[in-house]
Amino acid sequence: MSQSDAHSSGQQHPLGVYFKVWALLFVLSIFSYMVDYYHIEGYLRWSLIILFMLLKAGFILTVFMHVAWERMALIYALGIPMLAIFGFIALMTFEGDYTFFTREMYFSP
């Protein structure tokens, strides 16, 4: 591929998209900070924290890192291996529970 081809395929988008996402990231950060500030507890807290976290991560990935405009070959190459992380989370949850259980069984006074 020639040099000019590489330039024409560069990620060039109108600045307005970036400013909107930028503002949105600020708002979402304020929201997730407010969850802690107003001491929201229980399942509502966890679901709100995770919701704002995933929204922020999603906007950074899709717009700032231009994933939304990439070809599917790259998106699949990045996305599919990351699914392994969920399996790891499940395994280590069991492992952590087991550690806690055995500590309570044998090491509690």
Partner 1 sequence: MTSSTTTENMTGLQSAAADWASDQRTFKNVPWGKAMMWIFLLSDTFIFACFLIGYMALRIGATEPWPASSEIFALSMGGQPVPLLLIAIMTFILITSSGTMVMAVNFGYRKDRKKTALLLLITALLGASFVGMQAFEWTKLIVEEGVRPWSNPFGAAQFGSTFFMITGFHGVHVSVGVLFLLIVGRKVWRGEYDNQTRGFFTSRKGNYEIVETMGLYWHFVDLVWVFIFAFFYLW
Q: Which residues bind partner 1 (CB under 8 A)?
A: 3, 6-7, 9-13, 15, 18-19, 22, 25-26, 29, 32-33, 35-37, 46, 49-50, 52-53, 56-57, 60-61, 64-66, 70-78, 81-82, 85, 88-89, 92-93, 95-97, 99-100, 103-104, 107-108
- Work out the end-to-end distance of the chain between its first and last CA atoms, rounded to an integer number of angstroms: 70
43 vs 73 by CB, closer to partner 1: 73
CB of 43 to partner 1, least distance (A): 13
Cβ atoms of 50 and 37 closer than 8 Å: no
Closest CA to 54 of 83, 78, 25, 23: 25
CB of 30 to partner 1, least distance (A): 8
| CA–CA distance, 97 with 87 (Å, rounded to integer) | 16
CB of 20 to partner 1, least distance (A): 11
Computed from CA positions of residues 22, 27, 28, 29, in that sequence, does the dihedral angle turn out positive or negative? Answer: positive
